[in-house]
Each structure stands twice: as C-alpha cells, then as structure tokens.
Amino acid sequence: MKIKICGLTSVQDAENVNRYMPDLTGIVLFYPKSKRNMETGDAKKILAALDPKIRSVAVMVRPTYEQAQQAQDAGFAYLQIHGEIEDEILAKIRVPILKAYNISDLDRWDRYKDCPKIAGYVLDAAEPGSGKPYDLSVLQKIPRDGKLFLLAGGLNAENVADAIRAVKPDGVDVSSGVEYLSGENGKDPARIAAFMSAART
C-alpha cells in the first residue's frame, strides 16, 4: 500500500516525513486559496530537506504552462493536476502526471485515461483539501487500468483501513488527517506514524 503525505509547508514537515518514509509527498503550488500554498522558492527548500527516496509531487489546479515548467524545473518527480489540462500544456510536460479527480467531475474520466503521460489518478472529495469524508461507493465502479490509483479525501488513522477495504486502491493520500489537532499548519509526527501503521496493517 503506497502512502502519500500531502500539503507540506515547511522544512520541519519534510524532516517529520523523513522519519517515516512514505512513498510520496505533495506540495501545493500556485493556488492561493489553499492554506498550504507554497511559493516556488519555499518549495525548493522543502524539497532539499526531503529524503531523495521519497517521490515529490507538485499539486496544482489548472496550471499554466509557465507554472508547470517552474514545478518541473524545481525538481518535482510528478505533477498532480486538478481540473482541465490544455492539450498544448499536456504535450509539453516532461514528468509523469497524476490526474486528480473530484467525485463531482468523474464524467471527464475518459478524457485522460488513454494519455501516456498520465501515470496515475488521485480520487478526492468534492472539496479537495477539506478533510471531509465522502461516499466511497461511487469509486467502486471506476475501471482499473494498471495506472497508480490513489484514494484521497477525509482519510485519517481511524478510517483509512476501512477505506482501503472498500475501494482497494494502490495507495492512499492524506493531508488534513496528519496535521496537528490544534489547527496549526504542519504535519504531526505522531499522526503520521498512526496513519501509516493503519494504512499498512
């Protein structure tokens, strides 16, 4: 079971994640609406602190080509893209793409499933990043095609095992579920440990 810890916002987050070695980590770029949004310069500092064995993911919403280029140049291993991707941008991106879908836009599945640059999918709630769970039964009908299938949205140490049994994804993606309960930005090492243990049980 692959694990992605998303929404890193500091070098301390990278150091906390390094202690437990998930498969992937995500950093939000070019999306000021998110409290986890990072400037490219700060993202590079986080990447520099991250163990190189952990694959890094730039999380973006409908990026321009210039934004996608900045993320590639920063050294991210993947681009995770929410929303539509213009054909011209898709043709120019050099690194593998994780196409993110909200449960409200699954009708666009066929638009990207045959694109060779799409390395996998992230299935998220109607409000990505909200930490709110949703009805997972809608995902059980999605055909699997051998590409990475990551389940996201409202996961935490208490519900991730049940979610894995229900959906049978290749991996799980968590952000809010491993943050400090006090509400401060940052990833709580104890909650990371609990989540990873529950996901891999």
The pLDDT score that the predictor gives to residue 147 is: 94
Q: What are 79's two structure tokens?
A: 């681009």
Whether the pLDDT of residue 130 is over 60: the answer is: no
DSSP string, 116-172: TTEEEEEEE-SSTTS-----GGGGTTSPP-SSEEEEESS--TTTHHHHHHHH--SEE
What secondary structure letter does DSSP report for 179? Answer: B
What CATH class is the domain 2-199? alpha beta
DSSP helix/strand/coil, 20: coil
Q: Taking the domains of the chain in order of start, what are their residue ranges?
A: 2-199
Whether the pLDDT of residue 127 is over 70: the answer is: no
Cα gap 189→180, rounded to integer Å: 9
Average pLDDT over residues 115-126: 90
Each residue of 131-185: pLDDT tens digit?
567 778 878 778 889 999 999 999 999 999 999 999 999 999 999 999 999 888 8
Report how far apart, in Å, the C-alpha atoms of 198 and of each of 130, 142, 161, 192 are. 21, 24, 6, 10
Higher pLDDT, 130 or 126: 126
115 is catalytic: no
Dihedral, 157, 43, 130, 114 alpha carbons, nearest 10: -90
The pLDDT score that the predictor gives to residue 131 is: 59
Q: Are 9 and 177 in contact (CB under 8 A)?
A: no
Whether the pLDDT of residue 83 is over 80: the answer is: yes
Average pLDDT over residues 34-55: 97
Q: Is 25 exposed, middle or buried (0-12, 13-18, 19+ CB in 10 A)?
A: buried
Pairing outcome for strands 171-174 and 37-38: unpaired
The pLDDT score that the predictor gives to residue 129 is: 58
13 is catalytic: no
Between CA 95 and CA 104, with CA 98 as vertex, the angle to 5 degrees is 150
Please pick, among 13, 124, 173, 188, the residue that the annotation labels catalytic. Answer: 124
What secondary structure letter does DSSP report for 107? Answer: G
Whether the pLDDT of residue 128 is over 80: the answer is: no
Q: What are 110's two structure tokens?
A: 């066929």
What's the pLDDT band for 21 if we cut at 50, 70, 90?
Answer: very high
The pLDDT score that the predictor gives to residue 140 is: 77
